[in-house]
Amino acid sequence: MPYIDLVDETYIAALPATVADVFHDESRWSIWWPDLTLEVFMDRGPLGIRWSAVGDPHGSIEIWLEAVSDGVLVHHYVRLDPLDPRTKQPRPEPHDDAGWRRVAKARAERARRWKVQIWALKDELEAGRRPGTPV
C-alpha cells in the first residue's frame, strides 16, 4: 500500500467542459501539486487526467470528472511513495511509531492542501452563482 493513499470528492456547480478545461491547464498543476513532477499518462479529455508523479515522491495522481446534476463531481486520487535517497527505490515501511506518525502527518498535510486548492477552484468557478440557480 502506498505511504500516501488519498481519495477526495468535491462537487462543483459548473459546466463539465469548463471544469475539464481548468484541469487541462498545465499552469495550474504546479500550483496544486508544487512538490511533484507530473507526466500525463492518460488524458481522458472531458473525463479527467491521470498523471505519473516522477521523482521523489513518486506514484500517481488522478482527476476523474463525473457529470452530476448541473455540475461536476471531482474525484481526486493520490498514491505516492517516497524514495530511499541511497537506492532510489521505494522507501521501506517504517518500523516504529515515530515513522508511522511522520507518514500520517504527511498524508494529512497533503489532504489539507488539496482541500484548500479545490475549494478555491470551487469558489472561482461558482462565483456570482446564487445557490439553487442553474449554472
User: Digits of tens for pLDDT over the chain (135 positions)?
Assistant: 678 899 999 999 999 999 999 999 999 999 999 999 999 999 999 999 999 998 888 899 999 999 998 899 999 999 998 877 777 776 767 777 877 788 888 899 999 999 999 999 999 999 988 888 888
pLDDT at 96: 79
**Which residues, in sequence order, are bridge partners of residue 40?**
51
93, three cell numbers? 515501511
pLDDT at 5: 92
DSSP element (H, E) containing 49: strand 48-54
Cα separation, 90 vs 59, in Å, equals 10
Cα separation, 77 vs 86, in Å, equals 28
11, three cell numbers? 462537487
pLDDT at 56: 81
Task: For cell 475549494, name the residue.
Answer: 119
Rounded to the nearest 10 degrees, what angle do helices 16-23 and 97-126 cross at? 130
Domain boundaries, the chain: 4-126
88, three cell numbers? 532510489
CATH class of 4-126: alpha beta
pLDDT at 22: 98
